[in-house]
Structure 1
Amino acid sequence: MASTSTTPSPPATPHRNWLELPADLTSSILQRLGTVGVLVSARKVCKTWRTICSDPSMWRVVNLGYSDNSAYLKDFDCSLDSGMEKLAKKAVDLSCGELVEFRIEDFASDELLQYIANRSGQLRRLQLVSCYGVSTEGLSEMIKKLPFLEELRLYYIPVSQQAIEVAGHCCPQLKSFSFNRHGYRWPHVECDEDALAVAENMPGLRYLQLFGNKLTSNGLLAIIEKCPYLESLDLRQCFNIANLEHDLAKRLSQKIKVLRLPYDSTEDYGYDAEINDWDSFDEDYPSGLSDIDIVSEDYDFYEFSGGSDIDMDSDYMLYDYI
């Protein structure tokens, strides 16, 4: 009689208790959820995670914006900036003064900037993107309280060159600066205010990005002469300097190690790089704008309302609202 054989069962997978992971490993995993994910979700899972999420080391880098947090904010509309601002304040509070990098996109107010500055004197890196509620005065007052700032990146922020001047005077360790606009080839407008403000007030820069700026060869020359340590210069969509004189172009190429020119590719830019030319004109000015209107980008913006305020006194914050 033939013997029968049985296939041995695979060994049972040992049960893993995720709460037994080392705290530093758990912290690293949770940080991948992003600031909003940790604040509105991970902190509520259990006491162990809540303790880990309350460690100031979790909040040295804070990144807040709508686009990166759609999974958590899917039930919100864009009018709820106040809710996002309260999340930002909670992150600042949890950092206990250890915050070194803050990135904000799509929302912010002067009041929020003051809240951050008053509690984050060690801040090294600040990035603001499409924060239309921020004014020149509000940003300037914040920068005055950040003497250790090394990197300042401003994308599509309606502030004037005054903020550049303040940053140059109050942030002696500033090495990297971005002041980016939307690129325009037409109408043809020349304005060296930003470039001259950089040249006169930021001599220690190593990296400079002026994406979409209206500077001319005069402004560019001032930067070259008065920023002796400059190694990287990004001038993409700065169409006024697309055809530089030979001597200036040669001097630029000799001095700058990493150079991006007006028509270089924007694939790695990471933000809106659409060229916003005006195609229609009304008599002397496009869309009825004057010379002053065209040159100035310190516009006023309407404030939309309708979003409900959110009670952030609860430790659960937005989680209960969602």
Structure 2
Amino acid sequence: MLSEGAKSESSELMIQTKLPIPTMAASPSSSAAPPLPLSPPWIELPDDLTVNILQRLDAKEIIMSAQLVCSTWWRVCKNPAMWRVIHLHCAGDKFEFICLRAVDRSQGQLLELKLSGFEVDGGWLHYVADRSSQLRCLTVDVFRRIESSVLTVAIKKLTQLEELHLSLMDPSLSPDDFESIGISCPMLKSFAYNGGQWEFTEYVVAIGKNMPNLRHLRLFSYCIGNQGLEAILDGCPNLELLHLQRCSGLDLQGGLGKRCSDRIKDLILDSEPSQSECDQVDYDWYNDNESTASDSDHSGYAYVPDFI
């Protein structure tokens, strides 16, 4: 049993040997909430640059996915400047919804419309034409089940049209349709047609009589004959480009061939395609200077006419 002196000495020794436990002062950052994630860098881009980037997608990609990425893209995709050029390749039941939604968003500022790959009726064409009075370029590529009368009536409403490209139409247009289009669209400077007819002399006569301001003309796989070619040369004095691809019935050994070569800067008279050409389907045969959106002006759009 320890004496009082020993107890006191033992307690003092224990107190002296207990080392102080260091404490860490709480730093300001340790008690703060974790930092919020950084915003995506693309939302800081100027609107005109964002428009230029998004216009590289087609209308289906913009409406069905791109506009849903963030609130900034949603706002930009409502800007009419986004919809001055509309390219749409879409089959199925969503085509009409996408096309009409895109036209609505243009708010009458649509300048170029390219539609391809459809098998739908053409009632929506009147909706587009009624809301696109400024349209300059229309391409309708690989269409089925559109009545020629519906297409013609819609085109006749587009009185400012400068370029019209129609490819693989079914049913085909008639010479009277060509006449109506030429009369209703007096500013037409570029015309391309690839339909289902073979004998085509009446058609080119209608072109010569009713499309006098043409600078570019492309026709594909028809029997035209010298009479038709002469009608084109007589009726289209400003013609600079003439592509008659896989067209037959022409005899260019005499003065007609020389007249073509002297007058036309860009001339293709191709009556005997190779087998590889026959097997190849090229849906852009009609356009070697496709109108595109660019960043050359404040709105993100620059119209590039085919006939320059």
Match of 1:168 in 2: 182
The Cα shift of 1:254 comes to 0.9
1:270 is matched with which residue: 259, 279, 282?
Answer: 282
Match of 1:253 in 2: 261
Match of 2:55 in 1: 31
| Distance change in 2, residues 1:201/1:15 (3 Å) | closer
Match of 2:293 in 1: none
Match of 1:46 in 2: 70
Matches within 5 A, 1:278-289: none
Match of 2:297 in 1: none
- Partner deviation per Cα, 1:23-59 (whole Å, 9 max, x = no partner): 1111111122221111100111222111100100000
Query: In structure 1, how many angstroms separate the alpha carbons of the residues matched to 2:121 and 2:40?
Result: 45
On the 8 A contact 1:62/1:101 being kept in 2, the answer is yes
Query: In structure 1, how many angstroms separate the alpha carbons of the residues matched to 2:254 and 2:121?
Result: 45
Q: Higher RCO, 1 or 2 (CA under 8 Å, sep at least 6)? A: 1
Matches within 5 A, 1:1-322: 17-66=41-90, 78=91, 80=92, 82-107=93-118, 108-157=120-169, 158-181=172-195, 190-241=199-250, 243-262=251-270, 263=272, 270-271=282-283
On the 8 A contact 2:88/2:114 being kept in 1, the answer is yes
On the 8 A contact 1:182/1:211 being kept in 2, the answer is no
Match of 1:35, as an amino acid? Answer: A
On the 8 A contact 1:210/1:236 being kept in 2, the answer is yes
TM-score by length of 1: 0.70
Percent identity among equivalent residues? 40
Query: In structure 2, how many angstroms separate the alpha carbons of the residues matched to 1:272 and 1:59?
Result: 22
- Partner deviation per Cα, 1:117-151 (whole Å, 9 max, x = no partner): 01101100000111112222111111221110000
On the 8 A contact 2:199/2:222 being kept in 1, the answer is no
Pair member with larger Rg? 2
TM-score by length of 2: 0.73
Higher strand share: 2
Unpaired runs of at least 5, structure 2: 1-37, 286-308
- Partner deviation per Cα, 1:53-83 (whole Å, 9 max, x = no partner): 01000000111114xxxxxxxxxxx5x2x31
Match of 2:8 in 1: none
| Distance change in 2, residues 1:224/1:248 (3 Å) | same
Aligned residues: 241
On the 8 A contact 2:141/2:283 being kept in 1, the answer is no
Unpaired runs of at least 5, structure 1: 1-13, 67-77, 184-188, 274-322
Query: In structure 1, how many angstroms separate the alpha carbons of the residues matched to 2:242 and 2:196?
Result: 17
The Cα shift of 1:181 comes to 3.7
On the 8 A contact 1:175/1:205 being kept in 2, the answer is yes
Query: In structure 1, how many angstroms separate the alpha carbons of the residues matched to 2:45 and 2:134?
Result: 31
Query: In structure 2, how many angstroms separate the alpha carbons of the residues matched to 1:131 and 1:231?
Result: 28
On the 8 A contact 1:131/1:156 being kept in 2, the answer is yes
- Partner deviation per Cα, 1:254-273 (whole Å, 9 max, x = no partner): 11110011147869983298
- Partner deviation per Cα, 1:230-274 (whole Å, 9 max, x = no partner): 110000100222x4241111111111110011147869983298x
On the 8 A contact 1:190/1:216 being kept in 2, the answer is no
